[in-house]
Amino acid sequence: MTAISVLGAGAFGTALAISLARDGRAVTLWARDTGDMTARRVNTRRLPGYPFPESLAVTSDLAEAVSATIILLALPLQQLAPFLEKNRAAFGSQTMVACSKGIDIKSGRGPTEIIRDICPRATPAVLSGPSFAVDIAAGLPTALTIAADDPEPLQRALTTSNIRLYRSTDMIGVELGGALKNVVAIACGIAIGAGLGESARAALMTRGYAEMTRFARARGAEPDTLAGLSGFGDLALTCTSEKSRNYAFGLALGRGEKNDDSITIEGRATAQAVSNAAEKVGIDMPVAQIVVAIANGLVTIPQAIEILLSRPLKEE
Q: Which residues are catalytic?
A: 181
Q: Are 132 and 107 in contact (CB under 8 A)?
A: no
Q: Are 81 and 118 in contact (CB under 8 A)?
A: yes
Q: 101: helix, coil or strand?
A: coil
- H helical segments located in 1-56: 11-22, 37-40
| Cα 170 to Cα 152: distance, rounded to the nearest angstrom | 13
Alpha carbon distances (Å) from 259 to 200, 254, 262:
22, 11, 9
Q: Are 106 and 123 in contact (CB under 8 A)?
A: no
CA 57 and chain centroid, separation: 24
| Cα 8 to Cα 34: distance, rounded to the nearest angstrom | 10
| Cα 4 to Cα 71: distance, rounded to the nearest angstrom | 6
| Cα 144 to Cα 131: distance, rounded to the nearest angstrom | 8
Indicate the DSSP class of residue 47.
B
